[in-house]
Structure 1
């Protein structure tokens, strides 16, 4: 087995892992703040990517504005889900199962909408750094992949600071841990839940616009991204957004390294089998019980 091949797989795994991590972080943010398992998190990525493509190619907006528009579209989608669906269901006393069914239904509906408006074609965004590649120990990786990794690290660090150093982040954490107690201290729990959906939708859209220069986006990709993000979130502790980063990297590396020794068609089977074993041995996630309390 070539050392260069292994290192190439590691670089690819890290890139994919951070994409899965961003999806998982968004899912964990929403679960942390609302206790809702969002089965349509990958659709935020599809929305963000397709809106950015449309803004860039059809409207002719500058690249930065197109990307900002895609991220805003994901965040607004999260807001709309809270206002149009979650709030009315909460008023009627809906349970966790109802919200899970809601997000599954919305995933199919948004996939159909993406098919209607975006067609069956796959779309790409320009890569940061153009077609440039970087060679590391004989392996090569696109400049955009390094940019994606750097941006993801910065976003995760910013999220950590947001939850621990800002009034809004502390209020969101308090509202998620003890809604009744937070209300007595003057925190608007409903508003904090809305911020949670905004943030979760934005993270999903960021993952979409970052991966689209590397992997063409189409209406069918949402479910696959949701499953990978969910696996990342579960591995890190579903209520811990920062734990999803560890889970995403573990999943990405397991996928890529599986290809080194086995045919690529077995990649998902081997990676997910490894994850099953990990969850049997570590049922509270790779970070243990502390990881489930959130970051």
Structure 2
């Protein structure tokens, strides 16, 4: 095992980890604000990516506008799901199991819809920064991967600032901690819950858009991203969206190091085995009990 091979694995691990982190942060944000485990979080990524592809190739939009359209599509789908389904079930005092079954059903429905309307073929987007690569000690990383990492870090910092420095973010945190108490201060708890789904859809779509220049996105990708995003969220503490960033990068690094240490066929086995061990040793997540309370 050479140093350049390890460095290559680290580059790949951080790149994949950022994607897992974005999906995981969206899932965690939704759970934090609504206590709904969103089993269709990966579908937000597919929706964002497919919308961007269609706007770019079929509608002829400029790339930047197509990316914005894909991200907005994810946010709008998130808002629609909360208003049309989650809010109605919440009024009926549905159980957490019912919400989980709802999101599983929606994930399957959205996957089937993409298959029907878009087809089974995979789709790629042009890489940000062009086709160039950066070579560091014989290890190669694409310029797009550097953009992905930078945007992912920027999104994480922006999310922290949103939760702690904006009125809506602070209201969302208050509603998630004590809904009744927040309502007595004039906070519209139902609206804050809708905003959590908007935020979750936006983050998921962003992850999907950023990964599409690296791997072809098709109707089947959503489940895999949901599993990896959920693992990232659990590793970081399910109620802490920012902890999911730590969990995502950890998961990505474990996967990449498993490939060079064992075999690419066992990367998922190794990654989820490590997840199980971490959960046994640190049931509150990597950041501990304090991290679970974070925002």
TM-score band (shorter)?
A: over 0.9
Query: Number of paired residues?
Result: 295
In the other structure, the counterpart of 2:91 is 91
Once the two structures are overlaid, the 10-residue window that deviates more, 83-92 or 217-226, is: 83-92
Residue 108 (structure 1) aligns with: 108
Within 1, Cα distance between the matches of 2:144 and 2:80? Answer: 31
How far apart are residue 294 of structure 1 and its match?
A: 2.4
Equivalent residue for 1:69?
69
Is 1:248 the counterpart of 2:248 in the alignment?
A: yes
Question: 1:280 aligns to what?
Answer: 280
Give the equivalent residue in structure 2 for 1:259: 259
Give the deviation of 1:137 after TM superposition.
2.3
Distance 1:160 1:125 in 2: 29
SS in 1 for 2:204: helix
Cα deviation code 1:22-51 (max 9, x no counterpart): 000000000010011000000000000000
Q: What residue is the counterpart of 2:50 in the other structure?
A: 50
Aligned-partner Cα distance in 2 for 1:80–1:281: 39
Q: Any conservation in 2 of the 1:75–1:197 contact (CA below 8 Å)? A: yes
1:231 aligns with 2:231: yes
Where in structure 2 are there 5+ consecutive unaligned residues?
A: none
| 1:294 aligned onto 2:287 | no
1:37: which partner in 2?
Answer: 37
Are 2:20 and 1:20 equivalent residues in the alignment? yes
- Determine helix, strand or coil for the equivalent of 1:242: helix
After TM superposition, the structure 1 = structure 2 runs for residues 124-143 of structure 1, keeping only pairs within 5 Å, are 124-143=124-143
- 1:267 and 1:178 map into 2 onto residues whose CA distance is 40
Work out the CA distance in 1 between the residues paired with 2:201 and 2:274.
29
| Superposition CA RMSD, Å | 0.6
Note the alpha carbon deviations across 1:196-242, whole angstroms, 9 max, x for none: 11111000000000000011100000000000000000000000000
With structure 1 as the length reference, what TM-score do the two structures score?
Answer: 0.99
8 Å CA contact 1:32–1:294 kept in 2: the answer is: no
**Is there any run of 5+ residues in structure 1 with no aligned partner, and where?**
none
Q: Does 1:153 align with 2:153?
A: yes
